[in-house]
Amino acid sequence: MIEFTNVTKRYGRKSTKIIAIDDVSLSVSQPGIYCLLGRNGAGKTTLMKLMAGHIAATKGQITVDNSSVSTSRMPEGVNYIESGAIQFNIKVAELIKAAADLQDGFDMEFAEKMLTMFRLDMKKNFKQLSFGMKTMLTTIIALANQSKIILLDEPTLGFDAIMRDQFNTLLLESYNTHPRIIIVSTHLIDEIAKITERLIIIDNGGILLEAEINEVDERAYTLSGMVNLVLPLLDDLNCIGKTTMGSVMAAHIFDRRIVPPEGVAVNRLSLQDFFIQIVGGQNNA
């Protein structure tokens, strides 16, 4: 279980101080695949590195399984892997062997199965792999680890469409083999939505939303119609963004479902559009 209590992380000196994480409280307890969404610079990587004890919090407390986390006390059960993680330039087979030797309970069978599935050449040196393949290898190393918490930072960066699909298979296969907390940060929202159960949206260093994907599917929708019909409906609803073109308005809602009056259509709001609206919706409002 991961617990953040009023955690703040600042970078830099006084004059150039950047607040990457601002007074965040968060609790992740149930096993599942979690999707961490946020714009570039929103604080996703910092949040994950704090969870893994790779960096120290400026303020607040982080615990994993009730044990305090810091750089001097890296939690045993957490494995954080970033996209483009540097590895020793040795053969793929040797890297897998080294990881297996370094980690307790490394699932070699799973790793070998995945290496075959993704056609990773065991005889190639790490630097001879494409960027996508490097990331895939690093992800396999992370997922073969039987840690209770796996943190994958932008794992699909540099993947083509087929590799992204394969990655989702890999993630599901791993989760089915070892159910645990897997947090994936990504920008490819709709693709990860197929396999993820819970969504955490971060913006400007703060948690904007933490919800089940089903809940977002249920509560996020668009009302469209003439302005004079749509506008009165918004008084009782949580409108996260709206677009007006002439006399027609599209209002994006994250709230209870309503039965719209005649002349107003209810359309599904894709996860990507929901994210755009909730993070940048105020620009359209």
State the nearest-atom distance from the C-beta of 2 to another protein, in Å. 18
Rank residues 90 and 226 by Cβ distance to another protein and give the closer one.
90
Smallest gap, in angstroms, from Cβ of residue 24 to another protein?
19
Binding site for another protein (CB under 8 A): 49, 52, 54-56, 70-72, 74, 76, 79, 81, 85-88, 90, 95, 98-99, 101-103, 106, 138, 141-142, 145
Q: Which one, 44 or 242, has the nearer CB to another protein?
A: 44
Rounded Cα distance between 203 and 21, Å, is 9
Q: CB of 59: closest distance to another protein in angstroms?
A: 17
Cα 261 to Cα 196, 232, 238: the distances in Å are 34, 11, 18
Sheet holding 248-254, edge to edge: 239-245, 248-254, 220-226, 265-268
CB nearer to another protein: pick between 88 and 131: 88
For residues 218-255, one letter each, b for 16 or more C-beta atoms within 10 angstroms of the residue's C-beta and e for the rest, the string is ebbbbbbbeeebbbebeeebebbbbeeeeeebbbbbbe
Residue 56 has a CB neighbour count (10 Å cut-off) of 13
* Number of neighbouring beta carbons within 10 Å of residue 111: 21
Closest separation in Å from C-beta 142 to another protein: 8
Q: Which residue has the tokens 């993820």?
A: 196
**Closer residue to another protein in complex, CB, 63/243:** 63
> Which CB, 42 or 52, lies closer to another protein?
52
Q: Closest approach of Cβ 241 to another protein, in Å?
A: 37
